[in-house]
Amino acid sequence: MPAFPEVEKIVYEGPESRNPLAFRHYNPEEIVEGLSMRDHFRFSVAYWHTFRGGGADPFGPPTAQRPWEGPEDNVENAVNRVSVAFEFMEKLGVGFYCFHDRDVAPEGSSLAETNRNLDTVVAALKGEQQRTGIQLLWGTANLFSNPRYVHGAATSCNADAFAFAAAQVKKALEVTKELGGSGYTFWGGREGYQNLWNTDLKRELDHLARFMHMAVDYAKEIGFTGQFYFEPKPKEPTKHQYDYDAANCINFLRSYGLTDHIKLNIETNHATLAGHTMQHELEYAASQGFLGSIDANTGDLLLGWDTDQFPTDIYLTTQCMLALMKYGGLAPGGVNFDAKVRRESFEPLDLFYAHIGGMDAFARGLKIAAAIRADGVLDKMLKERYGSWDSGIGAEIEAGQHGFASLEKYMLEKGDITPNTSGRQELIENIINTYV
Ligand code: XLS
Ligand code: NI
Ligand code: NI
């Protein structure tokens, strides 16, 4: 029995289509700048939101209608859910998915039983991967829901919580490898603090780094060659998360000797929670060589938390695609929809509308970004703006031929600087609008 009997395979019908269950812009085969849309995006569905989210909020219980869910969260139900998930992803036409260990299989009464549960579900996932060709973009471990992690996992004051988390990530790495996952993500979970009076910040950061080194070492030991990602988020659930933003994460990776192994997984709503734009986070991470993968979603300007909405803003997706294309794309990372339907959108069909909208928004962003790049106006303006560095004193400074003394001599002779030119922000904004 299909879980979504009313939905056929979603196909590209073009911008004029009024079919809500069709793509109007995402055409997987279409080639943009030499690469198919499918390969530009490597779209991924987030198992936790799409197949485990029920819409509960602090004011009320879940509202989502998920008729395939049994009364009990047991292994049988989890295995059945795997078929539902793959039916959904096949019909949607995405090539990848991501999960936390606990999204796919329930915890048992002991670690050993929990691991057995996971093995059973992983066998089902593997079967469906082979049947459909859909792949695991990245795996991760849920180190934040179980009360044992109340003070964090790798940064807990309780050494046993660290040890349990290590055992959990060991297993998560094994199953990620078993499923041929192309990456493994560390998101902070409860790695952070609520107040500094009871927190040994230095010790916690050292422990987090030690934990990551253990993961890298174990990956090597078992031959897992996927890319590790660190996912910045400034707050929530703790008031200060140690993976605050891209700059902070990169500093951490550099301080603790982890730069060879770990890149960043940048999430839109986390960027905005940190007081940045997604464009800033992507530019910053990529400029430092740490662009790995993205969690695509969006926040709400009027709400100050991680609302994880589906991205629909064409400006946002244009900015993302401009940044990604400038730095050579995402692979082996991808565009993972770490996004959930609203509590009020409780029907299974809403899951399709949400993903179709996100994929179409990214496809438009890609086409607009490609048009801007093809015209080269922005590039030209940027080049001109920095023209003073291409020859003369600028080129000499960049080549390392000057120090303060020689620059003082240069300025004493010249008297004052060549006049500045306008930044032309409004003109540039107008130009961008001609493409959108
Ligand atoms: C939570 C994070 C989480 C990670 C995976 O805010 O976005 O979903 O992506 O642990
Ligand atoms: Ni995320
Ligand atoms: Ni998030």
pLDDT at 181 over 90: yes
Give the ligand with the smallest distance to the CA of 308: 3
pLDDT of residue 347: 98
pLDDT of residue 403: 98
Q: Catalytic one among 25, 49, 103, 245? A: 103
Compute the mean pLDDT over every residue in the chain, rounded to the nearest whole number.
Answer: 97
CA of 257 to the centre of ligand 2 (A): 24
Q: How far apart are CA 100 and CA 176, in angstroms?
A: 10
Instruction: Find the mean pLDDT for residues 39-68.
Output: 98
Express as a percent the part of the chain with pLDDT over 90.
Answer: 98
**How many CB atoms within 10 Å of residue 426?**
9
pLDDT at 305 over 90: no
Instruction: Find the mean pLDDT for residues 245-264.
Output: 98
CA of 200 to the centre of ligand 2 (A): 26
233 in contact with ligand 1, CB cutoff 6 A: yes
pLDDT of residue 145: 98
Q: How far apart are CA 415 and CA 25, in angstroms?
A: 56
52 in contact with ligand 1, CB cutoff 6 A: no
CA of 398 to the centre of ligand 1 (A): 40
Instruction: Find the mean pLDDT for residues 251-257.
Output: 98
- Amino acid letter at 44? S
In the annotation, is 245 catalytic? no
* Pocket mutation for ligand 1, best pick of 103, 231, 273 (most atoms within 8 Å of C-beta): 231
pLDDT of residue 86: 98
Q: What is the 3-state secondary structure of 308-333?
A: CECCCCHHHHHHHHHHHHHCCCCCCC
pLDDT of residue 304: 80
pLDDT of residue 303: 87
Ligand 1 atom closest to the Cα of residue 336 is: 9
Q: How many residues does the chain have?
A: 436
pLDDT digits (tens, 9 = 90+) for 327-358: 999 999 999 999 999 999 999 999 999 999 99
Give nearest CA residue, ligand 1 atom 10: 187
pLDDT of residue 1: 86
pLDDT level of residue 383 (50, 70, 90 thresholds): very high
For residue 44, what are the β-bridge partners?
A: 96, 336
CA of 254 to the centre of ligand 1 (A): 23
187 in contact with ligand 1, CB cutoff 6 A: yes
CA of 188 to the centre of ligand 1 (A): 8
Give nearest CA residue, ligand 1 atom 3: 187
Query: What's CA 2's distance to the chain center, in Å?
Result: 30
Instruction: Find the mean pLDDT for residues 292-301.
Output: 96
Instruction: Find the mean pLDDT for residues 171-192.
Output: 97
Give nearest CA residue, ligand 1 atom 7: 338
Helix (H) / strand (E) containing 360: helix 348-375
pLDDT of residue 174: 99
pLDDT digits (tens, 9 = 90+) for 16-45: 999 999 999 999 999 999 999 999 999 999
295 in contact with ligand 1, CB cutoff 6 A: yes
Q: How far apart are CA 299 and CA 12, in angstroms?
A: 27
**How many CB atoms within 10 Å of residue 129?**
17
Instruction: Find the mean pLDDT for residues 113-138.
Output: 98
Farthest CA pair distance, the chain? 84
231 in contact with ligand 1, CB cutoff 6 A: yes
CA of 52 to the centre of ligand 1 (A): 13
In the annotation, is 213 catalytic? no
The DSSP line for 233-290 is -SSSSSSEETT-SHHHHHHHHHHTT-TTTEEEEEEHHHHHHTT--HHHHHHHHHHTT-
Q: Catalytic one among 25, 40, 49, 100? A: 100
267 in contact with ligand 1, CB cutoff 6 A: yes
